[in-house]
């Protein structure tokens, strides 16, 4: 007899195990979990913001080096990152779990616990979901709903020539963390003290910039905002295309951690290109008009753990230029889901 698996306990018991782990629901959730659908009282005078994102085994994670708890936490975190990019306050999530029959009950519990820990930290209620058997990979599909005052919502469009471009946290960290987890050559001899643990953590469980997004929105600091799910280059392209503007990005200003630089160099990658193209950082890219710079400083003082780097500015000319050691060239292409 091995460890119990989900096929041994059946769907009903899987749902019971998940339900048992949930904290008491807030009063705006009008139905107990387990009815045909969730009934939710909407927040007063606010618009709802809805997003969905799935994590698929073999595409987004490899169970040989990603724990079930990290899979659960990240599946919610990537959705919260999208809400943060809109300036929304997260409120509830729905979980669709597609499980291979041989998933152990322990792994199921850990995955759900990882997700609920992330949910608890951000005040998110798991309001319902669905469980199904997978004939192949493990799939964790999450829908998240938040709310924002209509006039505060952050959109991708809205960047104007002269606006400063900022990015939160670090770029390239998640990609370097993934390379390190995969055992990229040259990194095996580095001790955790070299910063590798931090890079790996950024890949395994990104910290969605929920509070920063909320404050940027409430204080009307950002003219445009987008999260970095597919890399910084992709986000710059997204914001400039939506605003029908261009940008100049200063390579020397990019917040690339020293440990990530070492990982890229060991893997024979160009440091700047690797950081620009590297996906999964889940930071926020945002633009700030000159007259809102002082308000930005006040916002940043309220998120002391999150540094924001001024990495360039918006231009009227609709080109994206990377300025590096005085030389200007086009920005490299970002990661693409169907070709990468
Ligand atoms: Mg996004």
At 33 the pLDDT is 82
Instruction: State the distance from the centre of ligand 1 to the C-alpha of 66, rounded, in angstroms.
Output: 22
At 340 the pLDDT is 40
At 249 the pLDDT is 97
At 2 the pLDDT is 83
Strands of the sheet with 308-315, listed across from one edge? 224-227, 284-288, 164-168, 308-315, 246-250, 320-324, 327-330
Low-confidence ranges of the chain (pLDDT < 50): 184-185, 339-340
Instruction: State the distance from the centre of ligand 1 to the C-alpha of 282, rounded, in angstroms.
Output: 8
* C-alpha dihedral (225, 139, 5, 131), degrees to nearest 10: 90
Nearest Cα to Cα of residue 71 among 79, 58, 81, 61:
61
Instruction: State the distance from the centre of ligand 1 to the C-alpha of 69, rounded, in angstroms.
Output: 23
Who surrounds ion ligand 1 at CB < 5 A? 82, 227, 229
Tokens of 101: 């029959």
At 189 the pLDDT is 55
DSSP characters for 13-31? Answer: HHHHHHHHTPPPPPTTB-S
Instruction: State the distance from the centre of ligand 1 to the C-alpha of 291, rounded, in angstroms.
Output: 26
Strands of the sheet with 47-56, listed across from one edge? 47-56, 139-148, 89-100, 125-134
CB atoms within 10 A of CB 49: 21
The C-alpha atoms of residue 41 and residue 21 are separated, in whole angstroms, by 23
Taking 3-state DSSP, the helix, strand and coil percentages for the chain, each rounded to the nearest 5, stand at: 35, 25, 40
Domains of the chain: 6-151 (3.30.1330.10), 164-330 (3.90.650.10)
Instruction: State the distance from the centre of ligand 1 to the C-alpha of 242, rounded, in angstroms.
Output: 13
The string of pLDDT tens digits covering residues 217-244 is: 999 999 999 999 999 999 999 999 999 9
Looking only at the bridges linking them, the beta strands covering 320-324 and 327-330 are: antiparallel
At 280 the pLDDT is 94
At 183 the pLDDT is 84
Instruction: State the distance from the centre of ligand 1 to the C-alpha of 85, rounded, in angstroms.
Output: 7
Instruction: State the distance from the centre of ligand 1 to the C-alpha of 115, rounded, in angstroms.
Output: 19
Q: Is the pTM of this model over 0.75?
A: yes
Instruction: State the distance from the centre of ligand 1 to the C-alpha of 232, rounded, in angstroms.
Output: 12
């Amino acid at each position: 007899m091995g460890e119990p698996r989900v096929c041994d306990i059946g769907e009903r018991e899987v749902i019971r195990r998940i339900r048992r782990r949930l904290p008491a629901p807030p009063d705006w959730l009008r139905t107990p979990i387990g009815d045909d659908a969730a009934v939710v009282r909407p927040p007063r005078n606010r618009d709802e913001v809805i997003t969905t994102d799935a994590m698929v085994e073999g595409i987004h994670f490899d169970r040989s080096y990603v724990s079930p708890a990290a899979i659960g936490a990240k599946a919610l975190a990537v959705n919260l990152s999208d809400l943060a990019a809109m300036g929304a306050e997260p409120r509830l999530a729905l979980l669709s779990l597609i499980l291979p029959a041989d998933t152990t009950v322990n792994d199921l519990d850990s995955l759900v616990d990882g997700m609920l820990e992330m949910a608890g930290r951000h005040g998110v209620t798991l309001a319902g979901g669905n469980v199904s058997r997978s004939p192949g990979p493990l799939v964790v599909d999450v829908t998240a709903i938040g709310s924002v005052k209509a006039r505060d919502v952050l959109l991708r469009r809205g960047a104007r020539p002269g606006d400063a471009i900022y990015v939160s946290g670090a770029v390239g960290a998640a990609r370097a963390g993934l390379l390190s987890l995969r055992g990229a050559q040259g990194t095996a001899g580095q001790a955790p003290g070299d910063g590798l643990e931090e890079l790996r953590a950024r890949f395994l469980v990104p910290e969605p910039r929920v509070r920063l997004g909320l404050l940027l929105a409430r204080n009307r600091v950002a003219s445009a905002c987008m999260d970095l799910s597919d890399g910084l280059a992709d986000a710059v392209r997204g914001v400039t295309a939506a605003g029908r503007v261009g940008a100049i990005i200063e390579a020397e200003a990019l917040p690339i951690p020293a440990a990530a630089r070492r990982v890229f160099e060991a893997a024979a990658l160009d440091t700047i290109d690797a950081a620009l193209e590297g996906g999964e950082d889940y930071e926020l890219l945002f633009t700030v008009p000159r007259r809102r710079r002082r308000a930005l400083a006040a916002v940043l003082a309220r998120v002391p753990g999150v540094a924001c780097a001024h990495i360039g500015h918006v231009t009227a000319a609709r080109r994206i230029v990377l300025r590096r050691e005085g030389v200007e060239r086009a920005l490299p292409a970002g990661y693409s889901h169907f070709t990468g």
